[in-house]
Structure 1
Amino acid sequence: MAMSAVAFTNVAVTPTAQAPKALAARTTQPGQGDEARQGPTLMKLSSGLALGALACRRSMRTSRKAQAIDEKRFPVLSRSEAPLGVFPKMPKTVHPGVVTGQALKDLLNHAKENGYAIPAVNCVSSSSINACIEAARKMDAPIMIQFSAGGAQFYAGKGLDNTQFHAAIAGAVSGAYHVRAVAEQYGVPVILHTDHCAKKLLPWFDGLMEANERFFEQQGEPLFSSHMLDLSEEPLEENIEICVKYLERMAKFNCGLEMELGITGGEEDGVNNEDANPEDLYSKPEEILQVYDALSKVDNGFFTVAAAFGNVHGVYQPGNVRLEPKILDRAQKYIAEKVGMEEGSKPVSFVFHGGSGSDLKDIREAVGYGVIKMNIDTDTQWSYWSGIKDFETKYHDYLQTQIGNPDGEDKPNKKYYDPRACIRSAEESTVQRMEQCFEDLRCVNVLGLGPPAPPSNVMGPRRGGLPA
């Protein structure tokens, strides 16, 4: 898809309240036709006219010229095809909001070439998504938001039937639309991803493929940036065969694939590998070469590899987890030699699973060997809970009844038990933990935007917020 871009200086420049007016103004640009001038009334058109307008927009994609846009837009609803802005330190394809296709490739290659990795966080709510993207903007960096099947089901609601993984599909799609609606507003590039998909979860994966294909027909890009297949419990040949089949399908709509070989120890999201064979926790260079050879043959395919080097989900006592990042270094050298690359090349883009609780030395070493993404889930779960726990401790005496507190028997407590208060505390705690993660991965000030301006017109519980 042809994309134009304009200089991106900072986050917002136009108050949200003005966005609807500006959005209507954009619909009257020359060459967009009478239908485009209808603004909000477009939603009342018949499906036939709506499809006609969609076809018209597609035909104009390649001819639209770059133009200065001095406002935020709403990417799920907006008519604007061009992403807003570029970053001083990033490839020109990388833009604020969800990145896919060539922008995704360029972003991950930039990470590998410049020696940093991108934090990837499993999110289960819009609140956890917001906290992670807020942290990314604060650290002037990209981020990866991802959903597991269980997390996606929770996002949709545990009261929703999940036969054939319908709730998990709906939750992942719903979460994806939320990310798309807010990521560009924060002004950072976001990789939208799904996590571990074992063989028994392939119906969930198939539903997401269909969602991508439908979105691609409408928007010219996939709904998600990439997806992970975790068939590490299957024989390697079957693992590779299924990954190739899906990558061939995904390449048609410019979606990336993350595949896993070897086993990630520990327990996460219902997958328990605490008793895994120790040998399965360490991948062999020959196995990684098999994967690289097979997936590299897929035309327009883009993939990353979650190789095992002792990774374990969860946090354990020091000494219980033995990471061997040099496995990745040996694999890079082995593959580079076999495929005829220059010495020092890093042909494989590796991902690091089980980053929570890992030693900083191991993290930095792995990044040096071509890790471009690290998963962090356990630590952000704790940070979110920790924020709520600390809030309850601080305001305990105001959270026991609706009326009556240390300030008086008739004093109301609404602004204390308003869920926005404790949830915001959880978000702030998560932002703080994510700052450490960005630092550990050397993923700080890589966009070139500088620090964000303080948000304005921030409304809180009871307007006045809570006492310090």
Structure 2
Amino acid sequence: MSLVPMSDILTKANEEGYAVGGFNMNNLEALQAIIEAAEEENSPVILQASEGAIRYIDMEYAVAMAKAAGEKASVPVAFHLDHGGSFEKVIQCIRNGFSSVMIDGSELPFEENIALTNKVIEAASAVGVSVEAELGMLGGAEDDKEVEDQDATLTNPEEAVEFVDKTGVDALAVAIGTAHGVYKGEPELDFERLDNINQKVAVPLVLHGASGVSDEDIAEAIELGINKINVNTAFQQAFTAKTRQVLEDPDVYDPRKICGPSREAMKEKVIEKIRLFGSHNKA
């Protein structure tokens, strides 16, 4: 099947009370690991590329790989821009074939975030592309951008209501205490805030920075309305740990014998997350 809008996947997840993984593709092996895991688990999947990944892979290569995966896959696959930083970048991705985009206006004043999101929605909806936006700001590192913990801001539930009412966005990423990258301590999620937001808005909610969050906290977040969960760092760690292990043998030099086992290690981690999120057999 061809790539599908993310909204097709998340509407069902929202109705049935589970979450779907937003898994980042940083190279071919990551793409293969994500798609193979989703097919084995009969799970829909949101294949993501950040601006940094697009620069690394090249736009044309990234889109061609994702389209090939979507056409070959037996499960629904959305191809999503993760943390689009500008209207221009989002439009470039839409024109090149992304089926979903995120516009991240979380650093902007509230009204400017709304205006930018609506500008993206107007362009995206005309071609059937779904849109994710963010309200509140996570700490930690995402690509080359780092937000200090003291600059992170949690999502205001009343602002979330106004934001959704004024934009009609397909999915809303909320800040409830998670962070991008590797955690410096134990993450403390504000479940009361999440529950409040979920009671007030009807759109699917998104949790970024899930690597390092306990399985128990993830399960509670899903119970309280999270329908999309982004994972990247945990997969990178699994891939790299296996690569280091393989390279302990000085006679190994074939990239396929290095990257192949690393891809399998990442695939196992993707399967683990799919089962945790509850999207197994939901394709």
TM range (shorter): over 0.9
RCO higher in structure (CA 8 A, sep ≥6): 2
Aligned partner of residue 84 in structure 2, secondary structure: coil
Alignment pair present for 1:398 and 2:251: yes
Structure 1 residue corresponding to 2:175, chosen from 288, 292, 308 = 308
1:420 aligned to 245, 253, 256, which one?
A: 256
> In the alignment, is the contact (CA less than 8 A) between 1:262 and 1:307 conserved in 2?
yes
| TM-score using structure 1 length | 0.58
Deviation for aligned residue 1:205? 2.2
Which of the residues 160, 165, 168 maps onto 1:293? 165
Question: For each residue in 1:35-67, what CA deviation from the matched residue of structure 2 results, as whole angstroms up to 9, or x when unmatched?
Answer: xxxxxxxxxxxxxxxxxxxxxxxxxxxxxxxxx
CA contact (8 A) 2:94 2:129 kept: no
Counterpart in the other structure of 1:441? 277
Change beyond 3 A, Cα 1:287–1:432: same
Give the direction of change, closer, same or farther, for the CA distance of 1:234–1:126 in structure 2 (3 Å limit).
same
Judge conservation of contact 1:391–1:422 (CA < 8 Å) in 2: yes
2:94 counterpart of 1:209: yes
Q: Are the counterparts in 1 of residues 118 and 167 from structure 2 also a CA contact under 8 Å? A: yes
Q: Deviations over 1:86-118 (max 9, x none)?
A: xxxxxxxxxx44113xxx434211111222111
* TM-score normalised over the length of structure 2: 0.94
- The one of 211, 216, 219 equivalent to 1:356 is 211
Is residue 50 of structure 2 the alignment partner of residue 148 of structure 1? yes
Find the aligned partners of 2:265 and 2:175 in 1 and give their Cα distance.
30
| Cα drift, residue 317 of structure 1 | 4.9
* Counterparts of 1:179 and 1:116, CA distance in 2: 24
> What is the 5 A alignment of 1:173-322?
173-198=60-85, 201-211=86-96, 223-277=97-151, 280=153, 282-296=154-168, 303-319=170-186, 321-322=187-188
The match for 1:371 is 226
Cα distance, 1:350 vs structure 2 = 0.5
Question: Paired residue for 1:139, among 21, 24, 41?
Answer: 41
Q: Distance in 1 between matches of 2:231 and 2:124?
A: 26
How many aligned positions are there? 283
8 A Cα contact 1:387 1:428, kept in partner? no
The CA deviation at 1:177 is 1.9
Describe the shift of the 1:428–1:193 C-alpha distance in structure 2 as closer, same or farther (beyond 3 A).
same
Q: Per the alignment, in what secondary structure is the counterpart of residue 111 of structure 1?
A: helix
User: Within 2, Cα distance between the matches of 1:253 and 1:240?
Assistant: 20
Q: Which whole-Å CA distance do the structure 1 matches of 2:74 and 2:155 have between them?
A: 38
Name the structure 2 match of 1:334.
200
Q: CA deviation at 1:203?
A: 3.0
Q: Does 1:382 align with 2:237?
A: yes
Runs (4+) of structure 1 exceeding 4 A deviation are none
Q: Specify whether residues 237 and 324 from structure 1 end up closer, same or farther in structure 2 by C-alpha distance, changes over 3 A only.
A: same
* Matched residue SS, 2:150: coil
- Distance, in Å, in 1 between the alignment partners of 2:232 and 2:8 is 25
Contact residue 348 and residue 370 of structure 1 kept, 8 A: no
CA distance in 1, matches of 2:54, 2:106: 21
- Note if contact 2:87-2:116 (Cα within 8 Å) is conserved in structure 1: no
For structure 1, the residue ranges without an aligned partner over 5 or more in a row are: 1-95, 157-170, 212-222, 297-301, 336-346, 400-416, 448-468
Contact 1:233 1:263 (C-alpha < 8 Å) held by counterparts: yes
RMSD: 1.7
Cα distance in 2 for partners of 1:259, 1:192 equals: 16
Give, in whole Å, the separation in 2 of the partners of 1:238 and 1:318: 33
* CA distance, structure 1, for counterparts of residue 65 and residue 43 of structure 2: 20
Q: Are the aligned partners of 1:306 and 1:351 in contact in 2 as well (CA < 8 Å)?
A: yes
Q: Distance in 2 between matches of 1:210 and 1:183?
A: 17
Residues in 1 aligned to 2:241 and 2:44: alpha-carbon distance in whole angstroms: 25
> Which digits, 9 at most, give the CA deviation of each residue in 1:379-416, with x for residues without a partner?
111111122112123xx1423xxxxxxxxxxxxxxxxx
Shift of 1:353: 0.2
Q: Does structure 2 conserve the Cα–Cα contact (< 8 Å) formed by 1:263 and 1:276? A: no
Instruction: Report SS of the residue matched to 2:247.
Output: helix
**Residue from 185, 188, 191 that aligns with 1:325:** 191
Identical pairs, percent: 30
Alignment gaps of 5+ in structure 2: none
> Contact 1:226–1:256 at 8 Å: present in 2 too?
yes
Q: Counterpart of 1:81? A: none
Per-residue CA distance 1:282-309 (angstroms, 9 max, x = gap): 111111011111112xxxxx51100111
| 1:160-175 correspondence runs (5 A) | 171=59, 173-175=60-62
